[in-house]
Amino acid sequence: MKVLVTGFEPFGGEKVNPALEAIKLLPKEINGAQVVVRELPTVFRKSLDVLFSEIEKENPDVVICVGQAGGRFAISVERVAINVDDARIPDNEGNQPIDQPIFPDGENAYFSTLPIKRIVEAIKKEKIPAEVSNTAGTYVCNHVMYGVLYYASKKKPNMKAGFIHVPYLFEQVVDKKNTPAMGLNEIVKALTVAIEQSIT
Amino acid sequence: MKVLVTGFEPFGGEKVNPALEAIKLLPKEINGAQVVVRELPTVFRKSLDVLFSEIEKENPDVVICVGQAGGRFAISVERVAINVDDARIPDNEGNQPIDQPIFPDGENAYFSTLPIKRIVEAIKKEKIPAEVSNTAGTYVCNHVMYGVLYYASKKKPNMKAGFIHVPYLFEQVVDKKNTPAMGLNEIVKALTVAIEQSIT
Amino acid sequence: MKVLVTGFEPFGGEKVNPALEAIKLLPKEINGAQVVVRELPTVFRKSLDVLFSEIEKENPDVVICVGQAGGRFAISVERVAINVDDARIPDNEGNQPIDQPIFPDGENAYFSTLPIKRIVEAIKKEKIPAEVSNTAGTYVCNHVMYGVLYYASKKKPNMKAGFIHVPYLFEQVVDKKNTPAMGLNEIVKALTVAIEQSIT
Amino acid sequence: MKVLVTGFEPFGGEKVNPALEAIKLLPKEINGAQVVVRELPTVFRKSLDVLFSEIEKENPDVVICVGQAGGRFAISVERVAINVDDARIPDNEGNQPIDQPIFPDGENAYFSTLPIKRIVEAIKKEKIPAEVSNTAGTYVCNHVMYGVLYYASKKKPNMKAGFIHVPYLFEQVVDKKNTPAMGLNEIVKALTVAIEQSIT
């Protein structure tokens, strides 16, 4: 069994991306499943080009994409991705699509095929705050979640896929007033648990 | 040199108190100073009885009292304690004083004699969120901070003293929606840094 | 031209519902369009039964459903409704569906057919905080938004429809700590502006 | 009976100050007491020069100073002012005192002599969120509250005085994400009630 886990490069003026820092620290194997990690550019379209070619190369059974959700208090396991790009800030190559469909022939939305409720319960059992989220936003995170589920629905119906948002790291909020954060160890632990649940 | 560090027993329905959990993990010696830790009851008056007898026994150079401030995002180094008990909830023995002076012959307020700005900067340098706070509330935390500074002003003018509030631990907020928290390792690190600065 | 505006009865232990209080104060006519208001039960299925029969009776050109979103700071114009009922608390008749599709033959999601960006801009021009929201939750509000858009897609493709969430009223948060709210006059003004934009 | 009510000019990049806007709308007489309103510069020292000369001219029985506390959710009736100026941003004339005592011969702190608990209860009875606050900060608001109580303690022991912080107006938060606010009518009503309670 193989799990592909992705994280984005930093964006929005941040020097690090907690998702990327965390996936680098994942073990190479979890409960017998091989864990492959991959950095994605925080760029509309290009992120999916990289992801799709990686899927074709690695042929994973499960894909878990991970992104930063600054301002959230808990590990957010996303339920659904919607067919729209609507960027409040430009991506890392200056693209800022407004109200554009991601794939014109795609569904209005795709639901995560990961066991989202089970993942949330398992993370909370480790005493780390977690919740199901009903929106992945309309930026590159939603773009990638929608894209991988669109791809799976068209080409790999047996591949499970979904998205997890993680809070800022403490080092990112030292100069941001009243902004929630987590330590890297909590985030790595939560992602490990999410992988365990996704391969069962 | 000797530093007395106190933490409260759990209160308000919580099963743990992050202050108490953290001080138990402090090293016995920091930069050559002996570190003595002591649990205080979350009870008006009795907390001060315990604290004052401990000060008489240990004769510390510095006293740092630590308490939980549920809902705060950062390590809060308190600037000032005010001469009033005004309890929103009963303490652990059922006392709930309303608008009572703590010591009728005390000042309206006492300022911390710890280097509060220097402590905040040093904690932030460790990439942990920290801030000066201008209120320790009007519950047992303020009671103890006021009490130790009153005591120092009357009996031990060379003893430095102050109070640090710490956020909830992650395990305390697993079922509290949108509530900030920290890991125990960040809190222990922050308190260690605070002690280092206080003995310099 | 006719606009049907709905609001829910109170739920979740609240004595009032700001949506219902606000729609009762709307003018009977706005810019030449007739405004019909209707209370909906906060009950899965029954809310849609009432709404669909009202649509059949009134044959409106535009349907705007309004609901309370306790904890939000701004008027939230919803972008999308998803095909799932997942209730954290029981509805007003004790139903608590978990992860159930609303209409098994419906799309995964439907996008609002109101001019959501234009509505937000017009409300902000009146100096009232407003934003596009990407989730209407998974409770009766999302249920009704999904239902009316499903209905429109199947039976009335020219009828525009959508959903607006409003914050608590100040009277609802007097005993809730640090909870955002609005006055009834701001909410009524915002809904009036939303109707103006929806009929243009 | 005469009540002097003050509000500050705008500061910190804001175009209005809710305190100033609100006091301009107060009735000239409340329950038989004359209400005199006065704008204060948001400037250390100068604010007190203006206030003290106004007190000498008007000889009021009660002084209520009102200021903006951006980010607070409720009308905050301040309990205490502390003897320190510590400015995070420069005042309107560029002064930025750091850790300076306001009056070296003053107490460490002065408690409000207004009936703060009674004011909070009366405002909440009007269905407007209100709370006792234990910190007026360390900027010009605390400076003025400390100054007026220092002045009263030295020269006019029978004059009651205190400070009330009010949230942003809605128009100030239209472009600030997730920031609480109030309408001008709620603030004016709350201040009217505060005056009623203060003259009883």
Dist CA B12 CA B34 (whole Å): 32
The verdict on whether C143 is a catalytic residue reads no
Nearest to B165 by CA among B148, B147, B140, B185: B140
How would DSSP label each residue in chain C?
-EEEEEEEPP-TT-S--HHHHHHHTS-SEETTEEEEEEEE-SSTTHHHHHHHHHHHHH--SEEEEEEE-TT-SSEEEE-EEES-B--SS--TTS----SB-S-TTS-SEEE--S-HHHHHHHHHHTT--EEEES---SSHHHHHHHHHHHHHHHH-TT-EEEEEEEPEEHHHHTTSTT--EE-HHHHHHHHHHHHHHHT-
Query: Angle CA(B133)–CA(B108)–CA(B43) in degrees, nearest 5?
Result: 70
How confident is the model at residue D101, as a pLDDT?
98
Candidates D78, D107, D126, D131; catalytic one? D78
The verdict on whether C65 is a catalytic residue reads no
Query: Angle CA(C103)–CA(C104)–CA(C108) in degrees, nearest 5?
Result: 80
CA distances from D95 to A39, A93, D39, D43, D82 (A): 48, 42, 19, 7, 19
Dist CA B54 CA A63 (whole Å): 57
Low-confidence ranges of chain D (pLDDT < 70): none
Place of tokens 């972008």: C79
pLDDT in tens, C16-33: 999 999 999 999 999 999
Both tokens of D106, joined, read: 């003053």
A170/B182 touch (CB, cutoff 8 Å), yes or no: yes
How confident is the model at residue B150, as a pLDDT?
98
Both tokens of A160, joined, read: 């499970």
How would DSSP label each residue in B50-103?
HHHHHHHHH--SEEEEEEE-TT-SSEEEE-EEES-B--SS--TTS----SB-S-
**Partners of A162 in the β-ladder:** A64
Q: How confident is the model at residue C192 (pLDDT cuts 50, 70, 90)?
A: very high
How confident is the model at residue A141, as a pLDDT?
98
D174/C128 touch (CB, cutoff 8 Å), yes or no: yes
Nearest to C141 by CA among C100, C188, C81: C81
Please check whether residue C61 is in contact with residue C20, taking contact to mean a CB–CB distance below 8 angstroms: no
B181/A129 touch (CB, cutoff 8 Å), yes or no: yes
C186/D186 touch (CB, cutoff 8 Å), yes or no: no
Place of tokens 């505060």: D194
Number of C-beta neighbours around residue A57 at 10 A: 11
Dist CA D73 CA D128 (whole Å): 10
Low-confidence ranges of chain B (pLDDT < 50): none
A107-141 burial code (b ≥16 CB/10 A, e <16): bbbbbbbbbbebbbebbbeeebbbbbbbbbbbbbb
Candidates C21, C65, C78, C143; catalytic one? C78
Q: Specify the DSSP class assigned to residue D9.
A: P
Nearest to C164 by CA among C19, C24, C54: C19
With a pLDDT cut of 90, the percent of chain B lying above it is 99
Place of tokens 């669909």: C52
Dist CA B80 CA B132 (whole Å): 10
Nearest to D179 by CA among B16, A71, A200: A71
Please check whether residue B93 is in contact with residue B47, taking contact to mean a CB–CB distance below 8 angstroms: no
Place of tokens 């609303």: C102
How confident is the model at residue C30, as a pLDDT?
98
Q: How confident is the model at residue A187 (pLDDT cuts 50, 70, 90)?
A: very high
- Contacts (Cβ under 8 Å, ≥6 apart) of B70: B12, B14, B167, B168, B172, B179
How confident is the model at residue C101, as a pLDDT?
98
Q: Name the residue in chain A with its Cα closest to that of B177.
A: A73
**Partner chains of D (3+ C-beta pairs under 8 Å):** B, C
Question: Which chain C residues contact residue D183 at CB under 8 A?
Answer: 182-183, 185-186
**Partners of D76 in the β-ladder:** D131, D165
Q: How confident is the model at residue C144 (pLDDT cuts 50, 70, 90)?
A: very high
A128/B170 touch (CB, cutoff 8 Å), yes or no: yes
CA distances from B70 to A31, B16, B67, D115, D186 (A): 37, 12, 10, 28, 29
Dist CA B171 CA B169 (whole Å): 5
CA distances from D43 to A98, B200, D85, D141 (A): 44, 36, 11, 10
CA distances from A199 to A32, A60, A129, A166, D11 (A): 9, 11, 22, 20, 56
Please check whether residue A22 is in contact with residue A166, taking contact to mean a CB–CB distance below 8 angstroms: yes
Average pLDDT value over all residues in chain B: 97
CA distances from A73 to A66, A68, A117 (A): 16, 11, 18
Q: Say how many CA atoms lie within 13 Å of A181 toward its Cβ.
A: 27
Nearest to B144 by CA among B123, B130, B165: B165
Place of tokens 């706005």: C30
At the topology level of CATH, where does A2-198 sit? Answer: Aminopeptidase (3.40.630)
A180/B182 touch (CB, cutoff 8 Å), yes or no: no
Candidates C21, C65, C143, C165; catalytic one? C165
Candidates D21, D65, D143, D165; catalytic one? D165
Number of C-beta neighbours around residue C171 at 10 A: 18
The verdict on whether B141 is a catalytic residue reads yes
How confident is the model at residue C198, as a pLDDT?
98
Both tokens of B156, joined, read: 């031990």
Nearest to B127 by CA among B75, B60, B179: B75
Query: Alpha helix locations (H) across A41-200?
Result: 46-58, 116-125, 140-155, 170-173, 184-198
Both tokens of A190, joined, read: 């939560």
Place of tokens 């430095």: B160
Q: Specify the DSSP class assigned to residue B170.
A: G
Question: Which chain B residues contact residue A171 at CB under 8 A?
Answer: 127
pLDDT in tens, B112-141: 999 999 999 999 999 999 999 999 999 999
Q: Name the residue in chain D with its Cα closest to that of C180.
A: D180
How confident is the model at residue A174, as a pLDDT?
97
Both tokens of C68, joined, read: 């309370």
Decide: residue D79, CB within 10 A, 0-12 exposed, 13-18 middle, 19+ buried: buried
Dist CA A139 CA D175 (whole Å): 20
Among D110, D117, D132, whose Cβ lies nearest the Cβ of B108? Answer: D110
